[in-house]
Amino acid sequence: GDSVTQMEGPVTLSEEAFLTINCTYTATGYPSLFWYVQYPGEGLQLLLKATKADDKGSNKGFEATYRKETTSFHLEKGSVQVSDSAVYFCALSSNTGNQFYFGTGTSLTVIP
């Protein structure tokens, strides 16, 4: 069945460091891919998404490219800030749109 495998955390970075959080997926057909962010005490917020191969989603300096050949959707940011400290979830929506699969979440802490 469809699934998402996400890099385990926690991840601790210094401010202005480069961030990569790895995400790979298993799916039949052509799923849509998402990154969500969860700040302490809140629900999940959509960060970015991509709906087809080679699409790049971007928002707030974060980027992820839908790579069908490597079944990956890695999240990157060139220069992290303390305010980026949160938990990040990779997710997949199946072909039919009726099934949604989340990764286990990666906790990021950015220190000044």
Q: Is 79 in the site for other proteins (CB under 8 A)?
A: no
The answer to whether 1 and 100 are in contact (CB under 8 A) is no
Q: Is 49 in the site for other proteins (CB under 8 A)?
A: yes
Q: Is 93 in the site for other proteins (CB under 8 A)?
A: yes
Among 29, 42, 69, 112, binds other proteins (CB under 8 A): 42
CA atoms of 103 and 28, how far apart (whole Å)? 17
- Provide, rounded to whole angstroms, the least separation between the CB of residue 78 and other proteins: 25
Q: Is 100 in the site for other proteins (CB under 8 A)?
A: yes
Among 12, 20, 26, 46, binds other proteins (CB under 8 A): 46
Among 22, 58, 107, 109, binds other proteins (CB under 8 A): 107
CA distances from 52 to 62, 81, 86, 107 (A): 18, 29, 27, 27
Cβ-based neighbour number of residue 96 at 10 Å: 8
- The closest alpha carbon to 75, from 30, 11, 29, belongs to 11
Q: Is 104 in the site for other proteins (CB under 8 A)?
A: yes
User: Which residues of the chain form contacts with other proteins (CB under 8 A)?
Assistant: 32, 34, 36, 38, 41-46, 49, 87, 89, 91, 93, 97-98, 100, 102, 104-105, 107
